[in-house]
Chains A and B, each alone.
Chain A
Amino acid sequence: MTPTKFVGVGNYLDMLSDPAFRSSLVTFLAFAVFIVPTTFVISLGAALLVARTRVMQSFFRSVFFLPTACSYVVASLIWKMSIFSGIRSGLANGVLGWFGVDSIPWLSLADPPWYWLVIVTARLWLQVGFYMILFLAGIQRISPTLYEAAAIDGAEGWKVFRHITLPQLRATSTAVLLLLLINAFQAFDEFYNILSTFGTYPPYARPPLVYLYYTALGSGQDFGHGSAGAVILTLIIAIVAVVQGRILRLGDRGE
């Protein structure tokens, strides 16, 4: 496993021109563009609902938070075999059956890409609770006097949310967005467990880590290209993090 020959930046150039690696970056991008805002909105919504509830607040909080203790592997098992199985014994097709709709083989179809529904819902279930807790903490730190002042001014509902809650949650939102993005970069577990069967992975829906896993640890054992891919990914993440930090800070100045 010791490098036997120094090939300079050759492996980096190979990876950058490898269409499969580039398409894995596109897959990540599409995934992130959907999952980051969706998780953000749902967790914030859940936090707002739970924060305003007095009855059974801790029950609801626990229910949403509980999946955080679950692993991606267990969730993949439930999603693949129990909810989105291709036959009527799966919950989704069972429900469709009540309405007389044909069974949909969620994970066998490439077109339309129903597998995204399976992957995205699994991830939402697993991570919404954690971000909800972050938002809850942020909401509880907002001073009640701000709301009292707003009430005196006659502001309510959306206006209060837009002009008080959201700006006060700026720091929390920045952290949540960054964490969500970094998590999306690491997407591997649910893709691998839901889509691979018997050692093979379909030629679509391959995020970067899945592609690198099969490159470096598959039959090719190509550690040179695998490592080059890892370094490229690291650089991308670093750049994105810095840019995101800059954008949000610029936004600060603008306010």
Chain B
Amino acid sequence: MSGDVILDVREMMVSFSARRAGRKYRVQAVDGVSLSLAQGEVLGIVGESGCGKTTVGRTIVGLVQPGSGTIKFKGTEMIGAGSSSLRAMRLNVRMVFQDPNASLNPRRTIGDSVAEAGDISGFFKSRAERSAAIAATLTGVGLNPSFATRYPYELSGGQRQRVGIARAILPTPSIVIADEPVSALDVSVQAQVLNLMMDLRDQLRLSMLFISHDLGVIGQISSRVAVMYMGRVVEQAGTRTVLEHPLHPYTRALVAAIPKPDPSKRILGAIETGEPPSLFTRPHGCAYAPRCPIASDRCLVDVPTLRSVGTDGRTIACHNV
């Protein structure tokens, strides 16, 4: 796999300053995350709100500055790169946002929004080429090319998210960071958009970082999953391995808490999941220890690091598994 690694993130650290009750705090949103993505691979990142999964995505596309760490695109370091080489790389690393209503400019036509990255980079040689590229991209995401002259308010939520995807794949990117791209959509539309993303993955050989809180959705589209908890990856393995045999106690709770659409498999009252942590008072030792059913004394003092376990490239950060 190492031969065709297209994105390599090492020891990413991101912190924000925040103010609570008159005191200044430093919140460590991402605490030493390392990930790698191969050409054509979809890596899912799953975790609860506040676990840092969105910050990882935003840092990779350059919307957030990391405190330390490296982000290499095809072997070239992105952090601190010169503006021209950074611009070229950014054209290859693109983002799809959760809420297409918020991410599309209501006063620009769909065509202008879709072509924006190409316009900025001077990709289009002529107006005709630009229109043709817009039309082809819209068709590629299942929209009528005539949508190019329309405005976002004229579209449904599912159509807007198709536009959100279209603007992330023109000009052809190598990596798409998709941050909860189907969470705002109804299930019937969600399935349509997921199918589209799987088609694009196959047709364009796209690599994707697919960020979601929904393990069902992640299980559908990604081949590997990284589970994040309080800024750290606690388990990473093939998707089926994680869903069918979760090892880390947090992953187990997460998988067990998915509401299964089967009334004969009721879980209410049967599982214990604990209170989520406060980002301001990070526990010593393992961040999951206060909620963990198998925590031992060691977990309260000693932060577990990722180690390889079993097959399928599984890594896990837990003392007691």
Q: Do A and B share a complex?
A: no
A interface with B by C-beta (< 8 Å): none
